[in-house]
Homo-oligomer: A and B are copies of this chain.
Amino acid sequence: MSRPEILGRLRQHDVLPTPQRIEVAELLLKKPQHLSADQILDQLRGNGSRISKATVYNTLNLFSEQGLVRQLNVDPSRKFYDSTTHVHHHFYHVDTGELSDIPEHQVGLMKMPSLPAGTVQESLEILIKVRNK
C-alpha cells in the first residue's frame, strides 16, 4: 500500500494525517492482520521509529472510532486491531493466541434473532475457538 493510498484512506475517514498516524497505518493496513497495540509499538520501534506508546494507543483508538480498523475483543488480556473492516469472522487459536479470518463465504446464518426492544444492530461476529488436535 503506497503512501498516497494511505493518505487517501486516512482522509476518507476524517483522520488528519500526521507522521505517526501514517506509520501506524502503513504497518497495520498493509495486509489483513490482527495486531495488538504493543505488537504495533514493538514493530515500529524495531523499524527505528521513536513513536511513543501513548501515541500508538491514541492512534488506534482514533482509527477504531473512525472506522478505519476494527477492534477485536477476543483475547481477554489485550485488544487486537483488525485491518480488515468488512464483515468477516474469526478463528481464535486458544493454545497460541493467534487470530485468523474465516473466509466470508464459508459461513452463513440461517436465521436472525429478533433484537432486544429499542435497539438496532451494530454488528454480528462469529468466533470459533480451536485448539491443537
Chain A positions within 8 Å of B, measured between CB atoms, are 71, 73-76, 79, 89, 91, 93-94, 100, 102-103, 106-116, 118-133
In contact, A110 and B113 (Cβ under 8 angstroms): no
In contact, A119 and B106 (Cβ under 8 angstroms): no
Nearest CB to that of A101 among chain B residues? Answer: B113
Q: CB-CB < 8 A to A71: which residues of B?
A: 76
A-B contact pairs, 23 of them (CB 8 A): A71-B76, A73-B73, A73-B75, A91-B119, A93-B116, A106-B111, A106-B112, A106-B113, A108-B109, A109-B109, A109-B110, A110-B110, A116-B130, A118-B132, A118-B133, A121-B128, A121-B130, A123-B128, A123-B129, A124-B128, A125-B126, A125-B128, A126-B126
